[in-house]
Amino acid sequence: MHSMEDDIQKVLYSREKLAEIVHGVGARISRDYEGKNLLLVSILKGSVVFMSDLMRSITIPCSIDFMAVSSYGSGVKTSGVVKIVKDLDIDLKGWDVLVVEDILDSGLTLSYIWKLLRARSPKSIRLCTLFDKPDRRSVDISADYVGAVVPDEFIVGYGLDYAQKYRNLPFVGILKPKVYGG
């Protein structure tokens, strides 16, 4: 039987290392947002695993909400043209919003979401990403909280997918190029 792990060239972050990274980010957020009205906004689907662990590592009161967007592009490339599939349930006025993403690469989709949410008048808005891939950036956007900077490789696991697969791997690894025809 073919296992998902057979498609992984190399493990970049083990389950233990990810837990350590997330705990560190959670501790910083807890300090910075002490006494504030924190709302974590998870961008589905990729950030769901990170969001789940991150919110449990935050030690101050916070609320959560979810947003799902789809960007039109050819598979591995994003066009930055975004359609909202699921919008937030919460009115952002009075909230200190922290957008939670799995990976910041081109920044096109996030830049769009950022402008959209900022227009809804939250008290503040910041960005938290588990992984930052600065080599891929095509717009001027950066995260306030970054778990780790990753090389320009095709990574999967811990929420990150290729063709909706591999999200459930408990670690993050580099996908073998033969899998995606790279």
> Could you tell me the CATH number of the domain that includes residue 128?
3.40.50.2020
Asked, for residue 182, whether it belongs to a domain, the answer is no
pTM of the model: 0.93
pLDDT confidence band for 2 (50 / 70 / 90)? confident
**Lowest-confidence pick of 58-62, 168-172, 176-180:** 176-180
Mean pLDDT of all residues in 3-25:
97
Query: Would 49 be classed as within a structural domain?
Result: yes
Please tell me the predicted confidence (pLDDT) of residue 64. 98
Whether cis (ω within 30° of 0) applies to the bond prior to 45 is yes
Encoded tokens for 122: 């939250």
Q: Is 68 part of any domain?
A: yes
Residue 132 lies in a domain: yes
**Is residue 19 very low, low, confident or very high in pLDDT (cuts 50, 70, 90)?**
very high
Q: Which long-range contacts does 155-158 make (Cβ < 8 Å, 24+ apart)?
A: 155/12, 155/103, 155/131, 156/8, 157/8, 158/13, 158/18, 158/49, 158/50, 158/102, 158/130
Is residue 141 situated within a structural domain? Answer: yes
pLDDT digits (tens, 9 = 90+) for 42-101: 999 999 999 999 999 999 999 999 999 887 655 555 566 788 999 999 999 999 999 999
Mean pLDDT, residues 31-39 taken together: 98
Whether residue 106 is contained in a domain is answered as: yes
Within a domain: residue 165? no
30 vs 22: CA distance, rounded Å: 12
The proportion of the chain whose per-residue pLDDT surpasses 70, expressed as a percent, equals 95
Residue 122's pLDDT is 98
Count structural domains, the chain.
Answer: 1
Could you list the active site residues? 105
What domain range is 107 assigned to?
16-150
Q: Are 156 and 138 in contact (CB under 8 A)?
A: no
Is residue 171 one of the residues assigned to a domain?
no
CA pair distance 52, 90, nearest whole angstrom: 19
